[in-house]
Amino acid sequence: MHKIMVAIAPGSEEIEAVTIIDVLRRAELEVDVVSVCPQGKLQITASRGVKLVADCHLNDVVASDYQMLVLPGGLPGSEVFRDNQQLVELLKQRLAGQWLAAICAAPAVVLATHHICSEAQMTCHPAFQQQISAKQLSQQRVVVDLSQRLITSQGPGTALEFSLSLVEHLLDQDTATSVAAPMVLAAQNQQRLLRHKKALPK
């Protein structure tokens, strides 16, 4: 069973966080929602005032238990991630074969700031794109860098495509399509999902 860590912090973007958690669980993946609250609390208030409750705190997790680490965006949530040395070290020292995924502000505010996946192709929210080097930056809505096992995306409006891409690369395209079907995605979104199909490295 694949196990995924989805981090949340005070000020995380709730559409992104909830969409990621929901879609991964629809795919019957095991998800731990992990609080990065500096005060050690499990309940956080997201960027628009929605209250989210984590399963556990970062202090209580074992990084090697997870096949993927996911960072929703939003401010100040991404800044909380950026300033948490424990989380930053976990991201820098991720194991071979472990996936990393980030959306919205997180690729720029967290990954670019700390030079994590500094050779990878990535995207982020348009408001933060100047923080990513021109060599790395892509304008695609969802960017999969297979060599770095990194998946990034742009914001709340791309959260569903992003989440389905996580399912695809953790499991397979057929599972992602079967998760998408009962969600009644518009035809253009289904086509976009199919365009994201990529072969995993051997």
| Structure letter (DSSP) for residue 122 | B
Pair 133, 111: CB distance under 8 Å: no
Q: What is the pLDDT of residues 110-135, one digit of tens each?
A: 999 999 999 999 999 999 999 999 99
pLDDT of residue 188: 55
Question: Which pLDDT band holds residue 94 (cuts at 50, 70, 90)?
Answer: very high
Q: What is the pLDDT of residues 78-93, one digit of tens each?
A: 999 999 999 999 999 9
Please give the positions annotated as active site. Answer: 104
Q: What count of Cα atoms within 13 Å lies in the side-chain half-sphere of residue 62?
A: 2
Q: Which domains, ranges and CATH numbers included, belong to the chain?
A: 3-195 (3.40.50.880)
- Chain centroid to CA 120: how far? 15
The tokens of 102 are what? 């980030």
pLDDT of residue 190: 58
- List the beta bridge partners of residue 52: 44
User: How far apart are the C-alpha atoms of 49 and 17, rounded to whole Å?
Assistant: 13
